[in-house]
Amino acid sequence: MDHSKTLIAPTNFWRARQTLLAELVFVVIVFFWGITFVFSKEALQVVGPLAYNTMRMTLGTLTLALLVGRDWRQINQSYLWPSLVTGLILFLSYATQAYGIQFTTASKAGFLTGTNLVYVPIFSALFLRRMPSWTAITGVVLAFGGLYLISFEGALGNLFLAPGDFWVAVSGIGWALYVIALANYAPRLNVMAYSTLHVGVATLFSGISWIFSAEPLYLPLTSSPLWLAALSTGVIVMGLGTSVETWTTRLVSPTRVALIVALEPVFAALAGWWVGEIITLRIITGGALILAGMLVAEMRHILKQGQVKVNT
C-alpha cells in the first residue's frame, strides 16, 4: 500500500492552514498600523513628537527584549553596524512622521506613509546600480500623482504644500530605506535580536534628541490618549508586530505580504473618518492613486510568481 499520499496531504493541509492563519494575524497587525495614526494624532496634542517617540520606542524595545529569550547569546560585534544604521533610519523616520502628523490628518498621514512601498524598488535599483523596472517607474508616477492631490492645495498658479504633509511624505522615504536596511541585514542575523537592538538604538537617538530639543522634559503620564497611543504603537506595532511580520514573511510570499501592507492607509483613512475627519473626493482620488502605485510597483513580482506556477 502506498502511504505517500496520506502523508503528503495532511502536511500540505496543515501548511495551508498555517499560511492562512499567518495572513489573518498579519491583517490584524496591519489594522493596528492603520488605526494608530489616529491614536498618535491624539497623543501629539498633549506631548511633543520626540517625547512621544521615546516613550513608545522604550515600550517597543522592552517588549522585543522579552521575546528574544535565549537568542541573546547569539549577539556579537557583527550586530553593531547593522543596528546603528537601521536604528538611525528608524529614528529619523519616526521623528519626521510624528512631527508631520501634528499638522495633518490621520487619513492623509496613512496614505502619505504608504508611499514607502513604491520607493522600495526604486531605491533598491539605485543601490544595486540597475535600471528600475517599468512597473516600479509606473508605480512612482501614480504615487506622486496621488501625493500631489492629497498634499498640494491652492490654485494652479499658487500651489503650496499642506502643513505637515511634507514631513510625513519625507518619512515615507525613510520607511523605504528602513525596509531596504532590514532586507540587507536581517538574513545574516538573528531577526529578533537584531530587531531589539536597532529599536533600542532608535530609542537612544530619540531620547538624546529629546533632551537637547526645545520640548519640555516631562511626560503627562495621567493622559489616557498618550498611554493608548504609546502602548498600541510600542507594544503591539513595534513589539508584537515585528514578531508577527517575521513569522508571516517565512510562510507567505513577499507579494501577498506587500498586498496586505497596502491595507494600512485604507485602515488609517477609515479610522480618521470614524473620528470625524473629512474625507474629500480629492483625498479619496489621491489615496486611490497611491494604492494603485503600490500595487503596480509589486506587479513584477506577481507576474514572476505567475510564470513560476505555470512552468511548474
| pLDDT tens figures, 252-311 | 665 567 677 778 888 888 888 888 888 888 888 888 888 888 777 766 655 555 444 434
Q: What is the DSSP letter of 237?
A: I
Q: For residues 72-77, give the mean pLDDT.
A: 86
Q: For the CA atoms of the chain, what is the radius of gyration?
A: 20
Decide if 168 contacts 97 (C-beta within 8 A): yes
Amino acid 233: pLDDT: 92
Q: pTM for the whole thing?
A: 0.82
Question: What does the angle CA 284 – CA 287 – CA 289 come to, to the nearest 5 degrees?
Answer: 110
pLDDT digits (tens, 9 = 90+) for 183-204: 788 888 888 889 899 999 999 9
On the question of pLDDT at 3 being above 90, the answer is no
Higher pLDDT residue, 245 or 59? 59
End-to-end Cα, the chain, rounded Å? 28
| Host H or E run for residue 254 | helix 254-261
Please name which of 121, 178, 31, 116 lies closest in space to residue 302, comparing C-alpha atoms. 121
Q: Helix, strand, or coil here: 172?
A: helix
What distance in Å separates the CA atoms of residue 18 and residue 23, rounded to the nearest whole number? Answer: 9
Q: Which residues pair with 161 in a beta bridge?
A: 152
On the question of pLDDT at 213 being above 90, the answer is yes
Amino acid 223: pLDDT: 93
Decide if 64 contacts 199 (C-beta within 8 A): yes
Q: Give the chain's domain count.
A: 1
Considering Cα of 228, then 229, then 233, then 239, what sign does the dihedral take?
A: negative
Higher pLDDT residue, 97 or 130? 97
On the question of pLDDT at 245 being above 80, the answer is no
pLDDT digits (tens, 9 = 90+) for 134-165: 777 787 788 778 877 777 765 545 556 677 88
> 10 Å Cβ neighbour count for 106?
24
Domain of residue 242, residue span: 4-311
Q: What is the percent of the chain with per-residue pLDDT over 90, rounded to a whole number?
A: 31
* Distant-in-sequence, close-in-space partners of 226: CB < 8 Å, separation ≥ 6: 43, 46, 47, 52, 55, 219, 220
Q: Which residues pair with 266 in a beta bridge?
A: none
What distance in Å separates the CA atoms of residue 1 and residue 228, rounded to the nearest whole number? Answer: 60
